[in-house]
Amino acid sequence: MAIRHHLSDELLVDYEAGSLAEGWSLAVATHLALCPQCRARSRDAAAIGGMMFECIESVQPEADSFEKIMKRIGGEGRDAPQTTPRNPRPNPAVSGDILLPEPLRSYVGGDLDAVQWKNLGVGAQQMRLATGDGATNVRLLRIPAGDPVPMHTHRGQEMTVVLCGSLVDGEDVYMRGDVEYADQSVEHQPAAGPGEDCICLVVTDAPLRFSSKLMRMMQPFLRI
Ligand SMILES: [Zn+2]
């Protein structure tokens, strides 16, 4: 099934510039491994970014600098510059039938059968993934088929990439590879679609804010 929920331009450009924290990069790379459309957009972003960088370095500041840069970017017959990978990179060759694409696979340490799930006490289970950025919280979340997660809003950004099953949030349905964004302006209660457990990669940069008092009491123990 075709992916319908894609990466934003802003995230793609930041990813290609190497300016994303590791957790966000991992989520972006995971989507890219599953989405040919965003891989093409990512190559364009890298090519334009590389040309901008090259032009800024080589063109002396002058009144017409901007025109010169734009002329060179629009110039014909130029090869896209090679960029140096600084992020976890997608490896489309291993996506497809394998449930976990690289680079996510190496973070999880095997396939999904090998995951050591920890109960969250609400039906759902998680596996926290170790990153070294000190800025993001990264986890795999497994939600039983048809079950909702507790109602919550956010103190920061949340990015979810569905890996298997489906996630239903209001009118939107997210399938394998689809990305969902949420922030302080969003209060929601996503649920796994029927028939299959939903496993997704979830990245946040601040603790969630739960509506339920019980969940708020459990939160320090769940580190969610
Ligand atoms: Zn995409």
Q: How far is the CA of 179 from the centre of ligand 1 (A)?
A: 8
Question: How confident is the model at residue 169, as a pLDDT?
Answer: 96
Q: How far is the CA of 36 from the centre of ligand 1 (A)?
A: 7
Q: How far is the CA of 169 from the centre of ligand 1 (A)?
A: 19
DSSP, collapsed to helix, strand or coil, labels residue 178 as coil
Q: How far is the CA of 66 from the centre of ligand 1 (A)?
A: 31
Handedness of CA 193, 199, 203, 209 (dihedral sign): positive
Q: How far is the CA of 10 from the centre of ligand 1 (A)?
A: 13
Q: How far is the CA of 163 from the centre of ligand 1 (A)?
A: 13
pTM above 0.85, yes or no: no
Q: What is the mean pLDDT of each run of 10 residues along the chain (224 residues)?
A: 90 92 97 95 80 64 55 47 50 50 86 84 90 94 94 94 96 96 93 95 92 82 77
Question: How confident is the model at residue 136, as a pLDDT?
Answer: 96
Q: How far is the CA of 177 from the centre of ligand 1 (A)?
A: 8
If we measure between CA atoms, which residue out of 12, 3, 85, 80 comes closest to residue 37? 3
DSSP, collapsed to helix, strand or coil, labels residue 41 as helix
